Amino acid sequence: MNIKLTKIRQHFPKNGLADVKGEVSKELLRLRPLIKPGGNIAVAAGSRGIKNIALIVREVTDFIRANNANPFIVPAMGSHGNADAETQAQILADYGISEKNLGVPVRSSMDVVELPKGASPAGIFIDKNAYLADGIILINRIKAHTDYHGQYESGLVKMTVIGLGKEKQASAIHSYGVYGLAELIPVVAKQIISSGKIIGGLAIVENAFDDTMLVSALRADEFFEKEPSLLKAAKENMPFIPADNIDLLIIDEMGKNLSGVGVDPNIIGRMKIYGQPEPLRPAVKSIIIADITKESHGNAIGVGLADVIPRRLFNKIDFPSTYTNGITSSFYERIKIPVIAETDREAFDIALRGCGYIKKGEEKVVRIKNTLHLEELYVSDPVLEEIKASGKIEVIERNIGLFNESEFKTF
């Protein structure tokens, strides 16, 4: 079957910042009184592919130097990069966060310091290099989490715990499952903040185009009060797939630089976490993930959210890093290997067969580049008929073939 698709464009609010550099510089003035002249300040950066991240990190390190202190960078990414210090530094370098590019040392280590547990049943750990500094500034994007929902999801509170705590902290929290993420992270974060080591953080919110929409410098004692409103803004500006019912969803690429689990469960309607409810929309019968980004370094956590993958993707999986990340999370369904097809066409046939009987010509097929960039996507006619009345889409091109012989066309 050589199904025809229509290319459409969604109309999302274009509310990105015109001057990201200037806005970051202005916001950082709120933290100026907390910078100790002559002190060493750790700048914590994570593994996500945040828009403008190298520019933002540069602004933070320049700000620290302008206030007569000495910045250095620490990776704050839990067990990512196979829980290996060198790999974590390389992940940052791939985003332009390196000593060569920024003129600031990167101190990457998996060594941690254990802090008093306080009210936490789990041990509390923090990156040793960061702990020995005179202060820590976190940089992270605020967004909906891929595993749970609550007041504090992906953001500064979570980075304080999982990111800065390296594999040791990530394992301790994840051993409690979703309860650990939703309930223990705030408890542990409060204990870490009470140590006085964290000066503050720079919160970043992106819009549906993956553009920087908002930046906010927060003192550490403001994290809990102000992060929920930033999370609300992030959720209101998330991109989405405009169809509620889909037979087959084709995702061109997954990647750790795109989502913590490669593909965002909030977008595709699949969590695969025991005891957690699945998202109500979209309802998707079958999913193909076709490839993985270079920036993932083979970490294919989230591949288990697909039903079928081509051998091309399978051959790029680095199992040690995938399993380290997946086993640390304790959500094993997400690292199970789907059906492996030899070609894209075979993957399509297998995935569509798994949808059950569908009358020819009524297949509801959607193809997206990834779960982060959803302005433009491809839909079959039955999907187009359902969504065109919304007034929020524009038809760009019709009658586009899906295949070049045995492989998906490159769009």
Asked if residue 76 is part of any domain, the answer here is yes
Per DSSP bridges, beta strands 4-10 and 124-127 are: unpaired
The confidence score (pLDDT) of residue 391 equals 79
- Domain closes at, from 206, 236, 266: 236
pLDDT in tens, the chain (411 residues): 678 999 999 999 999 999 999 999 999 999 999 999 999 999 999 988 899 999 999 999 999 999 999 999 999 999 888 889 999 999 999 999 999 999 999 999 999 999 999 989 999 999 999 999 999 999 999 999 888 888 899 999 999 999 999 999 999 998 888 887 888 999 999 999 999 999 999 999 999 999 999 999 999 999 999 999 999 999 999 999 999 999 999 999 999 999 989 999 999 999 999 888 898 899 999 999 999 999 999 999 999 999 999 999 999 999 999 999 999 888 999 999 999 999 999 999 999 999 999 999 999 999 999 999 999 999 999 999 999 888 789 999 999 999 998 999 998
Q: Within this chain, do residues 275 and 154 fall inside the same structural domain, yes or no?
A: no
* Full domain range(s) for residue 115: 35-236
Q: Is the pTM of this model over 0.85?
A: yes
CATH number at residue 168: 3.40.50.11440
Asked if residue 17 is part of any domain, the answer here is no
Q: Within this chain, do residues 61 and 148 fall inside the same structural domain, yes or no?
A: yes
Q: Within this chain, do residues 376 and 304 fall inside the same structural domain, yes or no?
A: yes
Asked if residue 26 is part of any domain, the answer here is no
Taking the CA atoms of 189, 192, 195 and 198 in sequence, report the sign of the dihedral they define.
Answer: negative
Concatenate the DSSP letters of all residues of 114-163 into one string: EEP-TT-SS-EEEEHHHHTSSEEEEEEE-B--SS--SSS-BSHHHIIIII
Q: Within this chain, do residues 276 and 145 fall inside the same structural domain, yes or no?
A: no
The confidence score (pLDDT) of residue 195 equals 95
Taking the CA atoms of 245, 247, 250 and 254 in sequence, report the sign of the dihedral they define.
Answer: positive
Helix (H, G, I), strand (E, B) or coil at 260: coil
Determine the number of helices (DSSP H) and then strands (DSSP E) in the chain.
15, 17
Asked if residue 247 is part of any domain, the answer here is yes
Q: Within this chain, do residues 313 and 190 fall inside the same structural domain, yes or no?
A: no
Indicate the average pLDDT of the chain: 95
Nearest to 354 by CA among 300, 306, 290: 306
Q: In angstroms, what is the C-alpha Rg of the chain?
A: 22
The confidence score (pLDDT) of residue 180 equals 78
Q: Within this chain, do residues 202 and 290 fall inside the same structural domain, yes or no?
A: no
Domain count, the chain: 2
- Per-residue pLDDT tens for 188-206? 999 999 999 999 999 999 9
Q: Within this chain, do residues 53 and 188 fall inside the same structural domain, yes or no?
A: yes
- Domain closes at, from 201, 236, 271: 236
> Rounded CA gap, 128 and 185, in Å?
19
Asked if residue 29 is part of any domain, the answer here is no
Asked if residue 28 is part of any domain, the answer here is no
> Phi then psi for 350, rounded to 5 degrees?
-65, -45
Name beta bridge partners: 205: 214
Give helix 185-193 / helix 166-174 axis angle, nearest 10°.
140
Token readout for 227 is: 């992060």
